[in-house]
């Protein structure tokens, strides 16, 4: 029996992330790949997708180092003395995604550079006894 294909929804995509898989949808008609997932291909206006797993490799397209963070990151202990790096990553497969960039010197952002090769790193945070998994990256 073949595996039931998950619907191409945000929740399916996030469930894959929680299982530490970076998945996208690929249009069976034109080959365009979407990460985060999309059900409708806006290149050819069809909804004929299949799931594909990304290699998790890519390059930094743009980044910042944030000292005044969102409530979630403040709760994680980031702030004025411990900035975090938000990045847009261009995956080797083509699409771009947003994620925290770790394993870099956030307090010396001049040392981080656009085009730097990175690989996926799923980031686990304990919140109220539950483990949350977020998409992140680290230098390759």
Partner 1 sequence: MAKLARKVALVGAGMSKFGRHFPNKRNPDLWIDAWLDAVSKVDNGINSKDIDACYVGNYSSDLFNHQGHLGPQMANLVGLTPKPAPRFEGACASSGIALRQAVIAIASGVHDVIAVSGVECMTELPTTGVTDVLATASDSLFEYPAGATFPGLYGTLASAHMHKYGTTIEDLMRVGIKNHENGRENPYAQMQQSIKEMMESKKARLEKEGKDIPDWKDEFDFLKSRSNPMIAYPLRLFDCSLITDGAACLFLAADNVAKKFTDTPIWITGTGQGSAALSLHDRDDLTSFIASREAARQAYQMSGLKPKDIQICEVHDCFTIAEIVALEDLGFYERGKAVEAIKNGETKRDGVLPINTSGGLKSKGHPVGATGAAHAVEIFKQMRGIAERNRQVKFDVEKAMTHNLGGSGGTCVVHIYEK
In a 10 Å sphere around its CB, with 0-12 CB exposed, 13-18 middle and 19+ buried, how is residue 71 labelled?
exposed
Nearer CB in complex with partner 1: 52/88: 88
88 has which bridge partners? 62, 98
Task: Please give the helix or strand (H or E) that residue 130 lies within, else none.
Answer: strand 130-139
**Position 16 contacts partner 1 (CB under 8 A):** no
Among the listed ranges 1-9, 24-32, 47-55, 109-117, the one in contact with partner 1 (CB under 8 A) is 109-117
Per CB under 8 A, does 99 bind partner 1?
Answer: yes
Under the binding rule (CB under 8 A), the answer on residue 58 touching partner 1 is no
**What are φ and ψ of residue 99, in 5° steps?**
-170, 160
Residues that bind partner 1 (CB under 8 A): 10, 36, 61-73, 78, 80, 83-84, 86-89, 95-100, 109, 113-115, 134-136
């Amino acid at each position: 029996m073949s595996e039931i294909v998950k619907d191409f929804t945000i929740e399916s995509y996030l469930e894959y992330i929680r299982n530490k898989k970076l998945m996208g949808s690929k249009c069976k008609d034109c080959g365009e790949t979407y990460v985060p997932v999309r059900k409708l291909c806006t290149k050819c206006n069809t909804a004929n997708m299949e799931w594909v797993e990304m290699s998790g490799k890519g390059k930094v397209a743009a980044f910042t180092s944030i000292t005044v963070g969102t409530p979630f990151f403040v709760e994680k202990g980031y702030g004025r003395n411990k900035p975090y790096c938000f990045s847009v990553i261009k995956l080797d497969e083509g699409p771009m995604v947003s994620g925290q960039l770790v394993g870099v010197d956030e307090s010396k952002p001049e040392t981080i550079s656009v085009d730097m090769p990175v690989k996926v790193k799923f980031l686990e945070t304990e919140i109220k006894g539950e483990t949350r998994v977020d998409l992140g990256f680290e230098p390759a």
